[in-house]
Chains A and B, each alone.
Chain A
Amino acid sequence: MRGRALLCDLCGVPSRSLRLKAFCIFVCIAATAVTQAQVTFERLLNSSKEPQNWLTYSGDYSGRRFSPLDQININNARALTAKWVYQTGATGKLETTPLVADGILYATAQDDRAFALDGRTGRPIWLYQHQLPGDIRPCCGRVNRGLAILGDKVFLGTLDAHLIALDTKTGNVIWDVVAAEYQKGYSFTVAPLAVKNLVVIGVSGGEYGVRGFIDAYDASTGARKWRFYTVPGPGEPGHETWEGDSWKIGGAPAWNTGTYDAATNQIFWPTGNPSPSNRGEGRAGDNLYSNSLVALNADTGKMNWYFQFTKHDEHDWDATQVPVMIDSGGKHLIAQANRNGFFYVLDRASGKLISANAYGKITWSDAKDAEGRPVANKEASPTREGHTVCPGALGTTNFMAPAFNPQTALFYVTARDQCDIFSTAPQPYEAGHAYYGSAYFPSDEAEPYRGFLKAIDPATGAVKWKFEHTSPTWSGVLSTAGGLVFTGDAEGNFIALEAATGKALWHFQMGGAVYAAPIAFAVDGKEYVAVAAGSAVYAFGLP
């Protein structure tokens, strides 16, 4: 690197030698390309200055999934057309959010595939597939939600609980570390988050009775720098919220990507259900820090504050939705559309609850505590025979990424109205075996499921508009400065809507259901919108 730079400096000196000139051009172009590929922490911090790129899971550290690009906008969206399709060769659900850095798109597919594509054409540059053991048993599909990028590496969390650093140019493995025993149900499905020189990642396995954690690794070496256990051990604050030894298999995984606030050097990371998910007996107490948002010091992993959305959860309502930083009227807030059906707004510095409003059909809570937190009705607990509670086990929303558009000041989230019959049964814990203590069924008393894209005003919690899908979708949402919202549906459509009103402006039938969230990027001055659907990644643009 430095050597090449020196050569380039030398090349700046006028020379009569044509050969030297040709050599200089070659070396300096190569050097420029290397410089372009380096995604520094400063670039991640200032990602809004390079809207052509999509450098983190949510587009920037705030979690807003908002693109400042406006070439594609409400006036021309009807002309959008498919630009390329990349077939991954994988089957199952594609939940990946691609990253784009300097014209190259990096994404993942089932069974821990990772690949780099030419952003203009979709042509692959490299492919990588991690060799998984035959006996992994990931919950909920052999999925991956995407990569993190820092320096000359992208980072992949795998279904056998490895964190792997791949070279951005070749896909070569630079380092590969094991975070936990996959045999006990630990896995990674989340897109990691790169902060400073750290790669932060949360574990999956809430269906197996894991003990959840959030880890940070040195991006250069793979050495673990800190671990935050989401279930506190003996002697730690919060340990008293677990009955007996239940903390050892308490769950509280951390399987969706958090956000980072540089002003306070805090990482905000959401956590999932206590284990077993639908049986509270045997784990009496609030079960901290399950179903919470935790604010961690980025350098040390020490917790500054936490907020628990659902205490002692018995309905599998992971709070693993992306927390979104919103600044409004001089207030520094963090908002989450929670799986339990409430939209929460917290103060970012203290974690104090500011508001909680239902944004979908709920029956589990009729009251709030002194802080304003919705509390569960006694009758909401699952029974042996089962009874109906709304939302159902899949929640009002789930992992699908939301978006916040600072121009409309609206928060966009994929939501469903669905009620389930929750039943419970004792189930012995066995390492590496499913551990739910429950079953749930669609309720025949309730209406058929309905799915929506909802636009919420964070200031009031009011739903300003909603777009009803034919059926509930698992697609995430993107919003852009072009006044648009993009989302997908279970029937395979990719849809552009007017961000202010929810009016559908354009759609394209991709032939496969959407479980991923869209992004926007630009190459050579042309804007693209990309999304994974079916077994492929699609990119759309103007003619």
Chain B
Amino acid sequence: MASICAGLLLLTTTTAACAADDRNPYAGDPKAAKAGEYEFRINCALCHGLGAHGGGRGPDLTRAQKRHVHSDAEMFQVISNGIPGTVMPANGTNGQGVGMTDEEIWQIVTYIRSVEVKSPAKPVGSATHGKELFFGDANCSLCHMVEGKGGRVGPELTAVGGSRTREAIIDSVRNPSRRLAWGLTESTKEFAQEYETITVVTADGKEIKGVALNEDSFSVQMMDSNEQIYLLEKDKLRSFKKSRESMMPVYKPDVLSDKDLDDIVAYLISAGAK
């Protein structure tokens, strides 16, 4: 960082820029963006996809609106330090691959800025109606929570509209098992819960079906649709079955119209933008 500041001092004759170490020395530089693309492919694309369009685990970074990042300096900090409570790791800590230098991180910031779609997608759908559906007829809130209200069996969705594209959310409703089938990648191992479906028969003949909260070779922790948590030892079960077919029902257009789904997505995007 020191050398970047020295360079800036010479170029700009202003000291304010360096005081916080927060200026992207490569902002708008196409050569740096190109170098950043190499680094992005190596370090980021595993989750965020080639071209930064989002992958199995990471949000689409071509969206100008980002949940955790506004300025270049914030993006630098997020890449350097990760985002606590999410699978976004700090630079060099995912145990695979090489960490990046400050220079390389700035190049990645420059690359991401270069592929951002500046004009936000036109708002589609009615968030107000979507909220009614979410907590009403569409039954989403039986399993999903938003802003502290709703069920517990499925993923919490307050932030989903801020980190996933509209297309990804729609796909998750129409094909709920698709992403589940991909499984976890190495870098997301520490976050074991991926909502696999577990069906067991206990020693006394009781069948329990639910989502996995965690599992190892000898035990399983699961929640059924009544939100009851079960702590089970596998060798005491009569049977144990695990499936990557999600417990979430497939919402086909005849059950949930495209228009109603657009409204629900609009609601999630409005909640995620808060």
Binding site for B on A (CB under 8 A): 92-93, 137-141, 207-208, 385-386, 394, 423, 425, 427-428, 433-434, 436, 438-442, 444, 447-449, 469-471, 489-493, 495, 504, 507, 509, 513
Contacts and interface: CB of A to CB of B under 8 A. Distances in A.
Contact of A442 (B56, B96, B215): B56
B217 A440 contact: no
Contacts of B46: 439-442
Contact of A439 (B42, B93, B185, B218): B42
A438 B217 contact: no
B50 interface: yes
Nearest to B217: A470
B42 A438 contact: yes
B183 A470 contact: no
Given A438-B42, A470-B217, A137 B101 contact: yes
B98 A137 contact: yes
Contacts of B49: 441
24 contacts: A92-B95, A137-B92, A137-B99, A138-B98, A140-B96, A140-B97, A207-B97, A386-B50, A425-B37, A428-B38, A434-B43, A434-B97, A438-B41, A439-B46, A444-B181, A444-B182, A449-B183, A449-B184, A469-B217, A470-B217, A489-B216, A491-B192, A491-B216, A507-B218
Interface in B199-232: 215-218
A182 to B, nearest CB: 13
Given A442-B185, A448-B183, A509 B216 contact: yes
A311 B18 CA distance: 49
Given A137-B92, A436-B42, A442 B182 contact: yes
- Among B98, B184, B189, B215, chain A packs the most CB atoms within 10 A around the CB of B98
Given A444-B182, A448-B244, A449-B183, A493 B218 contact: yes
A65 B43 CA distance: 35
B260 interface: no
- The CB with the most chain B CB atoms within 10 A, among A394, A441, A442, is that of A442
Contact of B38 (A425, A444, A509): A425
A378 B55 CA distance: 28
Given A138-B98, A207-B97, 11 more contacts: A92-B95, A93-B95, A137-B99, A207-B98, A385-B50, A441-B50, A442-B185, A449-B184, A489-B217, A491-B215, A492-B216
Contacts of B41: 423, 425, 438-439
A494 to B, nearest CB: 11
Nearest to A142: B92
B39 interface: yes
B167 to A, nearest CB: 16
A444 B56 contact: yes
A385 B181 CA distance: 22
B42 A394 contact: no
Nearest to B215: A470
Nearest to A504: B217
B45 interface: yes
A495 B45 CA distance: 35
Interface in B28-50: 37-39, 41-43, 45-46, 49-50
A139 B97 contact: yes
The size class of the interface chain B forms with chain A is: 35 or more
A440 B45 CA distance: 8
Given A427-B38, A442-B182, A471-B189, A493 B97 contact: no
Contacts, number: 93
B186 interface: yes
Interface string B76-101: 00000000000000001101111111
A434 B97 CA distance: 8
A385 to B, nearest CB: 8
B104 interface: yes
Contact of B189 (A208, A436, A490, A504): A490
A471 B184 contact: yes
A448 B182 contact: yes
Contacts of A138: 98
A139 B96 CA distance: 7
A490 B190 CA distance: 9
Contacts of A489: 216-217
B50 A434 contact: no
Contacts of A448: 181-184, 244
- Between A92, A427, A470, the greatest number of chain B beta carbons within 10 A of the residue's beta carbon is seen for A470
B199 to A, nearest CB: 16
Nearest to A208: B98
A137 B105 CA distance: 14
Contacts of B189: 471, 490, 513
A513 B95 CA distance: 13
B1 to A, nearest CB: 12
B95 A434 contact: no
Nearest to A515: B95
B217 A423 contact: no
A386 B38 CA distance: 15
B101 A491 contact: no
Contacts of A207: 97-98
A428 B31 CA distance: 12
A493 B217 CA distance: 8
Contacts of B93: 92
Nearest first, the 7 A-B pairs at minimum CB distance are: A448-B183, A491-B216, A439-B41, A434-B98, A141-B95, A439-B45, A427-B38
